[in-house]
Amino acid sequence: MHRLLIPILALLLSACDQQAMFDRFVPKEEAALAKQVVSQLAARDYASVEAQLDPSLRSPDLRSKLEAMAEHIPSGEHISVRTVGAHTNITNSVTSFNLTFEYQYKDSWLLANVVLERRNGKVLVQGIHVTPRSTSLEAENAFTFDGKSALHYAVLVLAVGIPLFVVYALIACVRTQIPKRKWLWLLFVAVGMVQFRFNWTTGAWGVHPFSVALLGAGFAKAGPVAPYIFTLAFPLGAFVFLMKRRSFAQPADA
């Protein structure tokens, strides 16, 4: 079991500074403005927050909503803040920015989401949302075996075993003399059919019947503190080739 974990762990540990790479895609000016809005809300400077809101949001009960939101922000100065979500969408001449920040306080954490919209050269706040938390996203979504189920271990074994099986079939395919369209066989063997996606943090899973996966397995993260999503696919091409291999010519010399 430990030998099977080595390839996965090596990939996880060999990743470069994901936060630095992620920060390159964060719009600096808009992120600074969003943090300023959160700071004003934390300081109960409601007038400044209201002045930056889209006019359509300035309802009669706006002040009470801001006050209720501010109650969720821990008192005192935060220890650190990092950007954990950044999505930019451009529609015609309007650019929307959906930014999420994680604030660390002495005994708690806070997620703050700010939606901005740039229209006609002016940036307005379209939404603010804060969520108090007892732990960081990085700790919550860390790759760990604590409290994991048998399904987690099964997914991990398959995430290692399926690519090894596909690579074995690919090598055999390369060494086998196939009369015609050998490249089609190589392509068929290299991918797995029907994706099974598994969230390592929550254990949630789903099936995507019309998707394929290179080498039959993989994993990805949507951001530096996002959960690991493992992808498994049935290596149909590898199975079919190995069953039909004897019907082709004998393998060529290595």
What are the C-alpha distances in Å from 241 to residues 76, 168, 190, 212, 238?
A: 64, 11, 11, 17, 5
pLDDT value at position 1?
46
Mean pLDDT, range 127-135, rounded to an integer: 94
pLDDT category at 17 given cuts 50, 70, 90 is low
CA gap 28, 165 in Å, rounded: 45
* Confidence category of residue 186, pLDDT binned at 50, 70, 90: very high
Residue 234: which of 200, 188, 203, 201 has the closest Cα?
A: 188
Q: Check pLDDT > 60 for residue 230.
A: yes
Burial class of residue 252 in the structure, from the number of CB atoms within 10 Å of its CB (0-12 exposed, 13-18 middle, 19+ buried): exposed
Amino acid at 89: N
240 SS3 class: helix
Q: Is the pLDDT of residue 92 over 90?
A: no
The reported pLDDT for the residue numbered 4 is 45
Question: pLDDT above 90 covers what percent of the chain?
Answer: 73
pLDDT band at 159; cut points 50, 70, 90:
very high
pLDDT tens profile 139-157: 999 999 998 999 999 999 9
Task: Give me the sign of the Cα torsion angle 237, 240, 243, 247.
Answer: negative
Query: How far, CA to CA in Å, does 77 sit from each of 21, 30, 39, 216, 230?
Result: 27, 22, 10, 48, 38
Kindly report the number of other CB atoms within 10 A of residue 156's CB atom. 22
**pLDDT, average across residues 72-91:** 92
**Which pLDDT score, from 0 to 100, does residue 249 have?**
58
Q: What is the mean pLDDT of the chain?
A: 88
> Looking at the predicted structure, is the pLDDT value of residue 15 above 60?
no
The mean pLDDT of 12-16, rounded to a whole number, is 47
DSSP E strand stretches across the chain: 80-91, 94-104, 109-119, 122-133, 191-199, 205-214, 217-220, 229-234
Give the whole-angstrom CA distance, residue 225 versus residue 52. Answer: 29
Q: Say yes or no to pLDDT of 13 above 80.
A: no
Looking at residue 99, its pLDDT comes to 95
Q: What is the pLDDT of residue 178?
A: 86
Q: Return d(Cα 143, Cα 5) in angstroms, integer.
A: 12
